[in-house]
Structure 1
Amino acid sequence: MAKAIKKQALGRGLSALLKDPENDIKSVEDVNADKVVGNIIELEIDAIEINPFQPRTNFNEETLKELSTSIRELGVIQPITVRKTDFNKYQLISGERRLRASKLAGLTTIPAYIRIANDNDSLVMALVENIQRHDLDPIEIALSYQRLIDEIQLTQEQMSDRVGKKRSTITNYLRLLRLDPIIQTGIRDGFISMGHGRAIINIADHEAQTEIYHKIIMENLSVRETEALVKAYQENLHNDTPSLPAKKISYTISDQQKRVFTDFFGAKVDVKIAANGKGKIAIPFHSSEDLERIIKLLKE
């Protein structure tokens, strides 16, 4: 999670650049345009307008609330994409659900990719160069591939030629974006590997995905053990018993006990107990200031 916060901090610096009237970037020929193309930038939500040609007009309120809760706890995992229309004014290209849910969550800024005039070729080069880096996590690579599909309309075959990767490799990365956001965050933060994620993605139900994800972490399962667990789940489904292997937890934690953590840290704390009696407490934070607040509470 700290990794995502670092990126957003960098985005705030670029955001300040875009709000400087003397650095109003309108095309790729402008000074500092290379700092914008292909980068994540933290934008003020109030500066973004909805695309009037957006064909989708109905959004399920319940799923928006669920996404809003996820964003409050994990942040916006996949940045939105906007088009720069004027000085510090932007129009949404993709990500309206994320934008709406972020507003619902009370966010004032949101991570975004900015498209500027005649930046198509520059964006392709920036994304391809980004994919070739060695310090990217699998989700970052997958998001770069997805941008090439969504914004440049490249096929997987064309991407294979551009980045020098097999088409099957590209497909495997893209499939990771079908994982529940909690699991995507787990991959980004190194709690599980891409191999674990590839095994979990064979399960369509997100609730079952996250249940297996927590089991992997609690019991430190290998990729092979995860594959066996997924296979067992799928066999249960085939036998009309869609449930994971029964857990034998030696004790439980009550809602009242969970509230003690939540009240103390001022955040929704996730408490999980494994079958062997071991457990994990996950404390979410949303900024460096929030992290400092939690550290201060622990020191008191």
Structure 2
Amino acid sequence: MTNSEDQRLQLEPNAQVQNIKVNSIKANPYQPRKTFDEARLEDLAGSIRVHGILQPIVLRKTINGYTIVVGERRFRAAQIAGLEAIPAIIKSLTDEDMMELAIIENLQREDLNAIEEAESYRKLMDDLSLTQQEVAQRLSKSRPYIANMLRLLHLPKDVADLVKAGTISGAHGRTLLTVKDTQKMRDIAKQTVKESWSVRYLEAYVNEQFGNKIKKTNSTEPKMKPKMIQQQERQLKEQYGTNISITTNNKKGQITFEFKSEAEFKRLIHQLNDKYNK
């Protein structure tokens, strides 16, 4: 739990675990997560059938029963497992507490992607009228980190979907945002996926193509190149016995052969001529 969540869920000295009927429990209406991985729920349900629920969920009492504060995934798995009642702790919380805790719990998911994380920060700001600085303080993060994540929400939907699917990373997405032409951004995103570009290579490519001032990293050139190009360089190096560099620029490319003497130059020319004349 984060510090803010832990503070709100500190249990009273006399707090007790109670067995609450599953059919009297409802989902948190402020839960930002609308879909759950069915396969993982089935796995958890199988574990619950064997071992039971090891950690009680947290509920708030309502007029018509109970509302989940923390533990909706355990609750759904318990339903699949066929449990009639589950262990729970009852807490007195405000609607604002419910909103915040639901979002914070969502942020702690293992499978959370960068877009969902950014959406959670935006929801905290919108629902609770918080500034970026206030969100940062509540979640023990820096304000620049929150601001950088929120930038991802400006990506076109099809590019954002690539981040959601894990096809490209959030860092890829932030780099693509420096391309102001939306169609060019989409084209570069597709090329990034097709050629498995690293973030470093994408930064260098965008900086070269559009003159954006992107922070450069202390990495060597081969690490910045797509895997396919690195593989071709290695094969050519083995074939010709010298360092070879392949560079691409706006759908054009260049292959550079390195030689350190006239004799080595003549050897390379001879090899290339033999290859061409075969």
Q: Normalization by structure 2: what TM-score?
A: 0.45
- Bigger relative contact order, structure 1 or 2 (CA pairs below 8 A, ≥6 apart): 1
TM-score norm. by structure 1 comes to 0.42
Larger radius of gyration: 2
